[in-house]
Amino acid sequence: MGCEQNKTMATGQEVVPSKTEAQEPAAAQPDKASEIFDGIHLKERACSQDADCVLVQANCCSCRAGGSKTAIHRQHLDNIKKRRVEACAEIMCPQVMSTVSSCMATTSKCAEGQCVPDMKHLNFPKKLPSLPRGVGVEKIQTP
């Protein structure tokens, strides 16, 4: 039973939520960290050449703590860092390495007018290597 139900049973009166509770449920209200930092604005990603771009962590947590990387225009770097300090002061990050592919990026580039992590080193070969051959290696039977 919630507090409202207990109050209704004790007083016999119906509990009416306040205007703010009725209009905006608590789940719909973003926390400070996501409101301030999680969204890097498109204007902060705008670029005209690769040299404009720099890698930053995309949220409160680094890749060593479950986060990810993104790329922004270097002129916005100080503002992003300031917003991160304000938004992430009370955020605890997990002690887990991230598996997000952007964490593998070591450079950034300008692609179609937007800074992005450069993922060129993550390209898989177009032709997969042949299957192993040798003594005791049999063809896999498919049903």
> Coil, strand, or helix at residue 69?
strand
Q: For residue 113, which phi and psi values (nearest 5 degrees)?
A: 80, 10
Q: What's the pLDDT tens digit per position in 22-76?
A: 444 444 444 444 433 456 888 999 999 999 999 999 989 999 999 999 999 999 9
13 pLDDT more than 80: no
> Coil, strand, or helix at residue 25?
coil
For the chain, the structural domain boundaries read 31-112
Give the H/E segment covering residue 19: helix 19-23
Q: What's the pLDDT tens digit per position in 82-132?
A: 988 888 889 999 999 998 889 999 999 999 999 999 988 766 556 666 666
- Please provide the DSSP assignment of 100-111 as one string: -GGGG---EEEE
Predicted local distance difference test score (pLDDT) of residue 114: 94
